[in-house]
Structure 1
Amino acid sequence: MYPFIRYASTIAHAALQVKKGNTLTFKETSEITFRCRLTDIDNFLEMNNGRVLTLYDMGRTDFAVRSGLGTQLLRQRWGLVVAGSTIQYRKRIRAFEKVTMKTKIVGFDERWIYIEQSMWVKGKPCSSALLRTGVTKGGKVIETARVLAALDQSDWQLPPSGYVAEWIVSDADRPWPPQS
């Protein structure tokens, strides 16, 4: 089940951070901390890989609220979409461990915003995800320039490079499952 209460708590905490003046620009990294709960673990008593992806939603939510994107989403009646992702797991996260999650934008093009997220325990990286995300209006992805303009960051450019650019190219070559 989706952790709606945890999600709402993340929004409330991020809004409180904004009220305290602890905001972010799109150029900064969001960090949140939480504990691995019993509802997050699998039969091996470690965080379930599906839950990792769900919890990454919380990091993107904190980033959106604290960067002002959340306000624009409400004001403009925009939505968010994840159009692709890749993840690597390196270290297990056990029940009750304190986790630090980092979220940052690592590139964008005309249509997509590329976000890197990672989870850390005791200063060691446990997982890292790269996501292709977009802002939507009426179910269609809108131009990144429009999003940046709404946030008064029109002059910012961060073209995908390195592994992000390589992932974009390689993902475009990936065949879509055939119709049966």
Structure 2
Amino acid sequence: MNLWFRLLVLFVTSLFRPRMHARSDVSRLRLRVLPNDIDGNVHMTNGRYWTIFDLGRLDMVLRTGLAKVAMRAKWAPIVGSGAIQFRRELKPFHAFDLETRLIGWSGTRLIVEQRIFTGSDRTLTARGLLLIGFYDRGNRAFVKAETVLQAIGVVDTTSPPLGEAANALLATDAALKSEIDDWTALR
């Protein structure tokens, strides 16, 4: 995270925004493309989308109460895998809306969808899916998604049905892990 000013604003404003319910609510942040977000093509650089997505996930974690729970339990939030599709470019000083929501979970993975919209017609600019886990430093293991959700008061911890893209990301994550394990064994 290298967006220090935006991060500070997020921490302060999250204190005054309503609490989110993990299963049903969507985090919405209104942001603007700043000069340090652009690349040589004079649009927001692809790598900046991932950093902007951090802000949306942090807003969700703060407003669901998960940040307090994670700090007390010494759980570290970790992005395991992600995929993004870029649909439109974002030019300097262009305003955009970042939406972040939990769409499901499997095992120790929470699946988060993040979307960027622009304009009054809400044109989709980018969509990302990320697999998030909470690593328990004391037990040296990832925490089951159901345990994470119960810790913030979610009663029904049955995941909603996952879409094709979410299932494909889970499969890709498993394949990458398998190949890393194979590669490590060869060393």
TM-aligned CA distance change 1:140 to 1:15, over 3 Å: farther
Q: How many residues align?
A: 176
State the TM-score, normalizing by the size of structure 2: 0.86
Contact between 1:109 and 1:160, CA under 8 Å: does it hold in 2?
no
Matched to 2:126, the amino acid is S
1:147 is the counterpart of 2:144: no
Counting only pairs closer than 5 Å after superposition, residues 46-85 of structure 1 correspond to structure 2 as 46-85=43-82
State the TM-score, normalizing by the size of structure 1: 0.89
Contact between 2:29 and 2:56, CA under 8 Å: does it hold in 1?
yes
Contact between 2:146 and 2:157, CA under 8 Å: does it hold in 1?
no
Contact between 1:14 and 1:65, CA under 8 Å: does it hold in 2?
yes
Structure 1, unpaired ranges of 5+:
none
TM-superposed deviation, 1:169: 2.1
Matched to 1:169, the amino acid is A
CA deviation profile, 1:131-160 (whole Å, cap 9, x unmatched): 000112205311112211211113232155
Counting only pairs closer than 5 Å after superposition, residues 140-179 of structure 1 correspond to structure 2 as 140-159=141-160, 161-163=162-164, 164-174=166-176, 175-176=179-180, 178=183
1:136 paired residue number: 135
Identity %: 24
Distance 2:11 2:60 in 1: 10
Distance 1:141 1:65 in 2: 20
TM-aligned CA distance change 1:134 to 1:39, over 3 Å: same
117, 121, 143: which one aligns with 2:118: 121
Structure 2, unpaired ranges of 5+:
none
Distance 1:172 1:147 in 2: 21
What SS class does the counterpart of residue 95 from structure 1 fall into? coil
